[in-house]
Structure formats: structure tokens, C-alpha cells
A and B are shown apart, each in its own frame.
Chain A
């Protein structure tokens, strides 16, 4: 299957700082990328959907000013957690779908574990 790379895999930061997570599609052009959040033993909760070159669409209850998403190219999307607080500590996962790919062809990154102290 196609490869989606996420970086960093782990990040620890102090409360009040901002953290950027990158999601790259390595061998295909990702027209759509999705960002999820997963708490321990919980399901993946969709945070936002981003299409290349346009503003992200956020799910209800997700603060767009806190979770900044940029999808500036067909191979890169970034999620910036601004002014992070301990309650933002979670596992963040991106997924990507390329042009012509069907519904089942959604490829996930390895995830990024954020710990806010």
C-alpha cells in the first residue's frame, strides 16, 4: 500500500508552547488529508479534513484556532497545536487519500504522541 509518514512520532513540550506535526504522503499525491485524535483505548475521532490548497473543514467541537491545519502541497499537511495544555496530550494520526483512490484506500501515518507537561 501507499506510504504516509508522520513526524515527529513522539513529542514532549511545556504547557503554553506550540507543536507542529507533519504528515507526508511519500509515493502518491494526497488530495485529501484527515487528522484524527485518539485517546487510550478510545476510537479515532476525526478533527478535520483538509484538501490541498483550501482551508480545512473542522469537526464540531474542534477549535480551529487551536488546531491549525495547513495543506499547502499535495504531499504535505501540518497540524499545529497552539498554546498546548496537558489536556491536549493525545495520539494524533493523519491519513491521506489520493486522486482516483476509492473510499477504502485511506492510508494512515504512524501517529504522533504528544505529551504536554
Chain B
């Protein structure tokens, strides 16, 4: 079993839709969770970073962590074609620790 599981998609939605991206993880010691966005043939860029359980909002993006069910989510409101990319979730045990990435979900937002 992979430490972080993510549905690879592809996920296709119309412009303006609410997108829900999800990951599950198996390591109960994970404390820090990240979402990265990766455009084709580019390096990942950090979108959201959360510590432990709870929600965090930044503009159109909301990250949610439920440690009891080992489930992390990223919601994108009012999705735009420019949001089309691969979204990678990641978890780590401690500050400065090794990040374990999910496979990434490919998202396509159609105009």
C-alpha cells in the first residue's frame, strides 16, 4: 500500500464548477500536509500548507485535513481554465521531514 493514495483522474469539469480533490494516507504520524500544483513539464508549486486537522482557506482554494479518517481534500471554487494542471498532495511527519507525495490528480477545466 502506498503511503499516500490519490486518484490520478483525469478529472474534467466545466469552468465555474467547484472541484474536489482528495487523498488518503496511511501513516498516522503525518502532521503536515501540502497541496502542490504542477503544470505540464514544470516543477510543482506550493498551493496550500496545513498542520494537523482542520480547514485552511486561501482565495478560491480550501484545504481540509481529517486526521481521524486520514483524509485530505482540496476544494477549488469558481474553477478557471488556468487551474488545469496536476494537483499533488503530500504529507510529512515533522518539520523539515521527507515529503511523501501522492500520484497526482490531473484536472482539466473546460471553458
Question: Do the two chains bind?
Answer: yes
Restricting to A51-98, which residues have a CB under 8 Å from any CB of B? 91, 93, 95, 97
Q: How far is the CA of A107 from the CA of B99 in the complex (A)?
A: 12
- B60 near A: Cβ within 8 Å? no
- B92 near A: Cβ within 8 Å? yes
Query: Closest chain B residue to A111 by CB distance?
Result: B43
Interface size class of A (residues with CB under 8 A): 20 to 34
How many chain B residues touch A (CB < 8 A): the figure is 26
The interface residues of chain A, by DSSP majority, are classed as strand
Return chain B residues, CB-CB under 8 Å to A103: 32, 34, 49, 92, 94-97
Interface of A with B (CB < 8 Å)? 1, 4, 6, 32, 34, 41-46, 49, 91, 93, 95, 97, 102-111, 113
11 contacts between A and B (CB under 8 A): A34-B99, A41-B8, A42-B104, A44-B101, A45-B101, A46-B98, A103-B32, A103-B95, A104-B32, A108-B36, A108-B44
